[in-house]
Structure 1
């Protein structure tokens, strides 16, 4: 089996209409079986994509510039994360929101042009996958392949899970890891940097400086600088900043809340995708069932006609056999008569 031949067939299948996928796959497998049984088996094993994945495949094939621009934006975001450039990240985040909205609108338009508009729920899944594209080079390659099978999701910490997400994954380029192992997420690294910058040299906190100042001995009157009491009072009147540990805990709680929100959103999106896929599968199976019933009815009618022809032919054969036997006896009698007359 040649990978190139399988890739060509897969590209044709995933570029076609979603409702025709099963029939087109069966036809392609039947055609391939004549020259390569392994190729035919591989074609039959190509999974049908979800509705959202199909819409993304259409976008990648009809408007490849859209995912390409998002991939470039993702590279710039990762560069800003590596350099801990918070201002650039904020600006790129705003740019990503705008580009994602435009990309989803384009995907919906392309799907309509292909004769299958997508719902708002499927549009949300499309947006989730495109967001994952900006976070992970492997996800970007999967979308660009045009053979996506399911929705992708990024948690901002780990690489996007591509297991079972794309047909013929072996043909995708090997993607480098998006972050070195053991490196904390960008948000946590930015927080750590700010905390380190806020801490005075030597590791002392503002509170430690105040405590240290309390232990200093006040010089005798008139023999040294002004007593430190007014300075301490000024320090006490100044609002005390939140301690770094409390700030870190607050940020950690915020991160956990966002992760829980994202997990719930992903679960809801996955269930919506499964529901849509189940509906599509049911429609395909109903169509197949109707076709099989029609074929079965036609076969039963042909069988009934064949049985009737068999009965008629058998009866005619018996009559013909009796007529042949009778003719044979008549011929024998006639021959005997001729012999008798000839002997006289």
Structure 2
């Protein structure tokens, strides 16, 4: 970013843009860039360069803006989970994992609701990305700061309790200012814990070492070293997290199986009902066809009877007239 640019001005504009409904972002960004023409040098270009967020990131931004307490709860839960992992509290990790499942479900429902209120519903696939982002929020304080900033650009992802890669995932990342402590490699940590300051031998030292020692050194290297206690405890904590994840996966799988059974049962019921309706419809159509035929036959017979009755009436009239004429002649 250019040194002469007004960083505060860019941050204020970004906060306004990423708080808008999803479909309004592009037009608002163009208008904001034009409005910044007379501002600090480089600001209009920086505004135009602000990326449009993905739908999942936008949904999380809406949650951060309209219901920040939910993200605060997730961030606080993440702190407790990291503390439990640091203290190697396997039982605590399992309990916190169950608490996270409940809170994540509530948060995803809230994200769906607030997104709909802002004019755009989210699909199940987008909801899964939202849940993945919120899970990452609990894994890393940097991810928590990014999600709570309201300027998220992409969905986040984390495995276990590892540091989340935030490169390109948040607008104006300089404003996050999150202190993130790098985790030392296991080998370096073990060395410090043992208090060892032994240095690696130089090339010259390795060169002058007697050849007769090589078989003994090779045998030592081939003998596996027993795992240090800190490494074992860390592995146990990771195992506890893995078990918690397994429980979560099993729970989700069981829910999907139950949903599948319900869907299959409903499909069977509807299939049977459809078949019954088709049978009844076919019977009704056959009855209708017979009724139409009876109607046609009855109509033809009625017309014929009407003609016969009319002919009989005319015959009766003629007969009466004849009787009258004969009576008058006799008189």
Q: Normalising TM by the smaller chain, what interval? A: 0.5 to 0.7
Q: Which has the larger radius of gyration?
A: 2
Shift of 1:193: 3.5
1:181 and 2:184 matched: yes
- Alignment counterpart, residue 132 of structure 1, candidates 127, 133, 136: 136
- Alignment counterpart, residue 192 of structure 1, candidates 214, 232, 245: 232
1:72 and 2:76 matched: yes
Q: CA RMSD in A?
A: 2.9
Q: 1:8 to 1:33 in 2, by over 3 A?
A: same
CA contact (8 A) 1:131 1:154 kept: yes
Instruction: Give the length in aligned residue pairs.
Output: 199
Shift of 1:132: 0.3
User: For 1:70-126, what per-residue CA distance to the aligned partner results, in whole angstroms no more than 9, with x for missing partners?
Assistant: 000000011111111111111101000000000000011000110101000000000
Q: 1:88 to 1:191 in 2, by over 3 A?
A: farther
Q: 1:195 to 1:29 in 2, by over 3 A?
A: closer
1:155 and 2:159 matched: yes
Give the aligned partner of residue 173 of structure 2: 169
Whole-angstrom distance in 1 between the partners of 2:161 and 2:186: 9
Q: What does 1:1-344 correspond to in 2, within 5 Å?
A: 1-156=5-160, 158-177=162-181, 180-183=183-186, 192-193=232-233
3-state SS, counterpart of residue 46 of structure 1? coil
CA contact (8 A) 2:143 2:164 kept: yes
3-state SS, counterpart of residue 130 of structure 1? helix
3-state SS, counterpart of residue 33 of structure 1? coil
Give the aligned partner of residue 267 of structure 1: none
TM-score (norm 2): 0.56
Structure 1: which 4+ aligned runs deviate by more than 6 Å? 188-191
Q: 1:106 to 1:8 in 2, by over 3 A?
A: same
Unpaired segments ≥5 residues, structure 1: 197-247, 262-344
User: For 1:256-279, what per-residue CA distance to the aligned partner results, in whole angstroms no more than 9, with x for missing partners?
Assistant: x98xx9xxxxxxxxxxxxxxxxxx
